[in-house]
Amino acid sequence: MACTSQSALEYVRSARLHLVTHLRDLSVIVENLHQEEVFHGEEVSTIQAERNESEKARKILDSVTKKGEEACYKFLRVIDRTWKRTSGRGSAHSETRTEASSETEKFNLSYWISCYPFREDAGNYEGLSAGLRSCHKYQAKLKTRARKKSSEFWMRNKKLLDESYSPDLCYSPLVLVTQGRESASKIKKLKSKKSKMSRPKKLKTYIPVDKPNISPHELLKTNQNILLVGKPGIGKTALCHEMFKLWAEKENKELDYMFYFDMRQTSDFTERMSLEELLFRVCTEPDEGKEEVLADIKKFSDNVTVVFDGITDLSSSLVKSVVERDLLPNAKVIVTCRPDDEDDFFSGDFLRVEVKGFSEQTIRNYFSVILGEDHKKVLCHLELFTLCHVPMYALMVAACFLSKTPEDSPQPCSMTEIYINIVCFCLQRSSNKTTRFLNSFIQEKKDKILSLAELAFHATKRKSVNLTDLPCEDSCVLCFLKPLVVKVAPTETRTTYAFLHYTVQEFFAALWLLKNPDQINGVFQQCLTEEGKHMKHLIPFMCRLLTEKSPSLLEHLVPAQELKSTSSWIFQEMISTFCPDVDLLFFCQCLYESQCPAACVDFLETLDYHLDLSAESLDSYLCCAVANVVTMSKERKVRLNLEDVSVSEQGITRLIGCLDNVLWCDPLPQQVWRIVFLSEGQFNDASLLSCDGNQLNLPLQGRRELFERAANILQKNPTEVNVCLHWDSRATTVCPSLSESLLKALPCIRSLSFRMNDTGPELQDKKERVRKLKETRKKLFLDLCLKAALHKEQSIQDVLQRLRSLFSDYNEQEFILDLYQHMESEGCLSVIPRLRLKTLFKSTPAVWFINVSERKTSILLEVLKLQPEKKHVELWGWSYEESEVRTFLQCLPYISQLR
């Protein structure tokens, strides 16, 4: 190892014999020394003219040592800059420094140069290059192409979105798993467990769980060959383009190359193609020094990364040679394939990475960026949400939600329309056809598509996701499927297939059912059984595919006359079979998909125009479905029961929008207001107030946030609002939060009324019901007065005056007695001085009429003590009890006349 005082000249001379033998890439060294003005043009020509590499090395060493210390120092800097080109992938100074020092039997160039104590002047040598100028220019050209290719990839996706919308599409994190393949026994066990799950739980299993983060950047850095495995549309190509882009954006000075090949473009590859043609014709050609660049790539293949995206086989001998390392033996190879093809490539040399798609959080972020506020419409729909773990499907769902629809068409669009677009997009992608030629392709592949649909139907019928006896391995069929390769013997495997998502299987099953309408009645009957109730999920798809404007996809699969014939009877058959036994929301969903007004009216007539949705949970899609049915009723108002219904934030507006067609009577107003108050969204409450005659309906009992939201609505409204409080047998007390909210919004309340809502068996007697309501009303009034005394000290008189105007029918002569009694029972007599009772006494009648049986005489005594003058009192209901008489005698000094 060199000492810190050793000169560059001495260091070079001491290793001359080793350098003559071990120096490589001499052209790069000469070019850099010429750039550093150590060699002039004539010297460069002389050195390059030498054919023997050892003689070239001697001439270089002779020249730099003759030129002295500075020339040798620059020579060492060049060696330091270019040593990786001769040391192979993965070695580093830090590694060599930890090895045994001193000279070894075998000279180590990288270790030798790492031991020289360079000055802190690295910035003066940034212009040094690790390779020939022509190679660096080619690297720059490849990086420009990589950025362009990546941009084009995302632009193709962006074109699917609405033209008026321009989100910045880019790579979204994918769940990447590096464990090996799961065993057949484990897969079988998981499938058995999954088959016993409820539909919601089964759908949730499609979304992969986030694993410890493996980023494209880390995959790019690893020195291992990589096998990216995943089902169609799961994000393998997006991951490759992200790595391609990251490589292009690196700002280091290393000379390396990255080549990306889309193996789906089979016309680019020929059997007799050479390596030069593969790299320079299929990819891009150097602008200069073609031979030098190719030689550099071959010689330093450890600086080369080759990506083969979408390999299905190794029919190309050239591609096979690269993958198997016969050509470019030290290059890093990245291969993407589907699971059923991986056995052709998977070996110990490859790091197997399974691409699982989007995690739950990535789905949320993806739609939040693309759809903005509308992203919750996807998140609240379980079928769509779980479908979107496949990035290709997520893109199509986003495109459907962003697409423009006619004014009279409900937004966003029916579920079936989304699946139609997904199917067409997959067919277009697998066939490389433009939209213009897609219909002819569907016509051409009609039999294969319908064969797949038949398999889907029979698999759905037996509650299975496994497709047996696949009719063919055509790309238009396989693009919807994921393969599962099971080892059944040491030398034998069996491949089964499943759809990328169970709902896509149901869509295809519905296609087959429309092609075979004689099976439809049988499916309807199955839906009524416990064993076959899962078949009902095919029906909404059928309803949309049977509409008058049937999609072009169906036109080429089922003759139009057959569809028309089926549509003439199917809805009546559905109503007679299912109503009223089947879930009303499900039926509304079917009618929403169909967009058939006549069927909606028939459905409502069967239910006598009464939709009871009590205790249901409505997402935005189901709200659209219910609103669609209600708005179809033009001649007669619909009775709607929304008791204890929960509605998503996005669904409220749609539901409120159909109220013009609803019979607006109790208890619906209170139910609607409860839904609005308990929602998390910022609904425009003014529109509902106008719908409800500027009246706000509230229960006497409820959650705190319900009453807080009500107070905010009252305070925001520009005019005073009428408040109606609904009383029933369950409301034996008044919620404290209601009192707080009413007091908070008191100046904004025009009137306060009560309404009895029920006639339960325990309250059949009308007089008893009225009495209990009066007690509740009185309790609320006194609660408000007490809270005002506790919290509104500065404006207590104004508040009390306002409260008395709202409860104007309250017996004023009893008011002070009742208020005192209430404060005593609540332990709040200390606030009596704040009430300024002298002012209150002035507003009471000259004669007090008091029923002594309703209160203790002690209360009368305490109140009379507070009055500023004697009162004329008329008593009745006297008990003549000794204690009462004694207390009454104490009242006499405060009474002017007694009757």
Domain ranges of the chain: 8-131, 136-157+172-178+214-357, 422-578, 664-810, 831-898
Rounded Cα distance between 360 and 374, Å, is: 17
Q: What is the pLDDT of residue 534?
A: 87
Least confident stretch, 283-287, 561-565, 596-600, 800-804: 800-804
Q: What is the pLDDT of residue 860?
A: 61
Given a cut of 50, whether residue 102 has pLDDT beyond it is: no
Q: What is the DSSP letter of 467?
A: B
The pLDDT-based confidence of 218 (bands split at 50, 70, 90) is very high
Torsion sign across C-alpha atoms 233, 235, 241, 244: negative
Q: What is the pLDDT of residue 267?
A: 60
CA-to-CA separations, 658 to 229, 663, 671, in angstroms, rounded = 49, 11, 15
Q: What is the pLDDT of residue 411?
A: 42
Given a cut of 70, whether residue 664 has pLDDT beyond it is: yes
Closest CA to 837 of 810, 867, 861, 794: 867
Those residues whose C-beta lies under 8 Å from the C-beta of residue 275, and which sit 6 or more positions away, are 294, 298, 318, 322, 327, 328
Instruction: For residue 758, give both structure tokens.
Output: 């029920």
Mean pLDDT score across all residues of the chain: 79
Given a cut of 50, whether residue 763 has pLDDT beyond it is: no
Rounded Cα distance between 137 and 858, Å, is: 105
Given a cut of 80, whether residue 783 has pLDDT beyond it is: yes
Q: What is the pLDDT of residue 878?
A: 61
Which helix (H) or strand (E) is 820 found in, with range? helix 812-825
Q: What fold does the segment set 8-131 form as a domain? A: Death Domain, Fas (1.10.533)
pTM: predicted TM-score of the whole model, two decimal places: 0.64
Q: What is the pLDDT of residue 248?
A: 92
Given a cut of 60, whether residue 650 has pLDDT beyond it is: yes
Q: What is the pLDDT of residue 456?
A: 92
- The pLDDT tens digits for 410-421 are 444 678 888 888
Contact between 766 and 819 (Cβ < 8 Å): no
Instruction: For residue 617, give both structure tokens.
Output: 């949970």
Instruction: Map residue 403 onto helix, strand or coil.
Output: coil
The pLDDT-based confidence of 458 (bands split at 50, 70, 90) is very high
Rounded Cα distance between 494 and 485, Å, is: 6
Instruction: Map residue 259 onto helix, strand or coil.
Output: strand
Torsion sign across C-alpha atoms 44, 50, 53, 55: negative
Rounded Cα distance between 801 and 804, Å, is: 5
Q: What is the pLDDT of residue 864?
A: 61
Strand partners of residue 874: 849
Rounded Cα distance between 51 and 779, Å, is: 110
The two beta strands, 350-357 and 175-177, are antiparallel
Contact between 855 and 879 (Cβ < 8 Å): no
Instruction: Map residue 112 onto helix, strand or coil.
Output: helix
- The pLDDT tens digits for 873-891 are 666 656 666 566 665 665 6
Is residue 670 packed enough to be buried (19+ CB in 10 Å), middle (13-18) or exposed (0-12)? buried
More confident residue, 362 or 618: 362
Those residues whose C-beta lies under 8 Å from the C-beta of residue 414, and which sit 6 or more positions away, are 544, 592, 593, 595
Given a cut of 50, whether residue 298 has pLDDT beyond it is: yes
The pLDDT-based confidence of 89 (bands split at 50, 70, 90) is very low
Least confident stretch, 39-53, 451-465, 730-744: 730-744
175 phi and psi, to 5 degrees?
A: -80, 120
Average pLDDT over residues 403-412: 47
Those residues whose C-beta lies under 8 Å from the C-beta of residue 865, and which sit 6 or more positions away, are 894
5 phi and psi, to 5 degrees?
A: -95, -5
Average pLDDT over residues 10-30: 86
Torsion sign across C-alpha atoms 541, 546, 552, 558: positive
Closest CA to 648 of 411, 383, 408, 378: 378
Rounded Cα distance between 359 and 213, Å, is: 12
In this structure, the number of other CB atoms found within 10 A of the CB of residue 419 comes to 29
Which helix (H) or strand (E) is 309 found in, with range? strand 304-309
Rounded Cα distance between 237 and 114, Å, is: 40
Buried b (16+ CB within 10 A) or exposed e, 90-111: ebebeebeeeeeeeeeeebbbb
Q: What is the pLDDT of residue 854?
A: 59
More confident residue, 634 or 485: 634
Rounded Cα distance between 658 and 378, Å, is: 22
Average pLDDT over residues 254-261: 89
Average pLDDT over residues 255-284: 82
Average pLDDT over residues 278-298: 89
Q: What is the pLDDT of residue 689?
A: 74
- The pLDDT tens digits for 825-878 are 777 776 776 666 555 555 566 666 666 655 656 666 566 666 666 666 666 656
Q: What radius of gyration, in Å, describes the C-alpha atoms of the chain?
A: 42
Contact between 227 and 352 (Cβ < 8 Å): yes
Rounded Cα distance between 251 and 343, Å, is: 37
Q: What is the pLDDT of residue 355?
A: 93
Given a cut of 90, whether residue 407 has pLDDT beyond it is: no
Do the domains 8-131 and 136-157+172-178+214-357 sit in the same CATH topology, yes or no?
A: no
3-state SS of 745-804 is CHHHEEEEEEEECCCCHHHCCHHHHHHHHHHHHHHHHHHHHHHHHHHCHHHHHHHHHHHH
Is residue 471 packed enough to be buried (19+ CB in 10 Å), middle (13-18) or exposed (0-12)? middle
The pLDDT-based confidence of 577 (bands split at 50, 70, 90) is confident
Given a cut of 60, whether residue 899 has pLDDT beyond it is: no
Q: What is the DSSP letter of 662?
A: B
CA-to-CA separations, 60 to 44, 51, 78, 125, 420, in angstroms, rounded = 9, 14, 12, 19, 70
Closest CA to 339 of 265, 205, 232, 241: 232
Given a cut of 60, whether residue 408 has pLDDT beyond it is: no
Q: What is the pLDDT of residue 183?
A: 58
- The pLDDT tens digits for 356-390 are 999 999 999 988 888 877 777 787 778 888 888 99
Is residue 555 packed enough to be buried (19+ CB in 10 Å), middle (13-18) or exposed (0-12)? middle
Closest CA to 837 of 866, 814, 808: 866
Rounded Cα distance between 220 and 217, Å, is: 5
Given a cut of 90, whether residue 142 has pLDDT beyond it is: yes
Q: What is the pLDDT of residue 337?
A: 87
The pLDDT-based confidence of 93 (bands split at 50, 70, 90) is very low
Given a cut of 50, whether residue 91 has pLDDT beyond it is: no
Average pLDDT over residues 557-583: 84
Residue 137, amino acid: K
Instruction: Map residue 484 onto helix, strand or coil.
Output: strand
Q: What is the pLDDT of residue 398?
A: 85
Rounded Cα distance between 658 and 714, Å, is: 24
More confident residue, 468 or 559: 559
From the candidate CATH numbers 3.10.129.10, 3.40.50.300, 3.20.20.150, 3.90.650.10, the one assigned to the domain spanning 136-157+172-178+214-357: 3.40.50.300
Instruction: Map residue 305 onto helix, strand or coil.
Output: strand
- The pLDDT tens digits for 584-603 are 888 898 998 888 888 999 99
More confident residue, 796 or 732: 796
More confident residue, 521 or 184: 521
- The pLDDT tens digits for 674-683 are 787 776 655 5
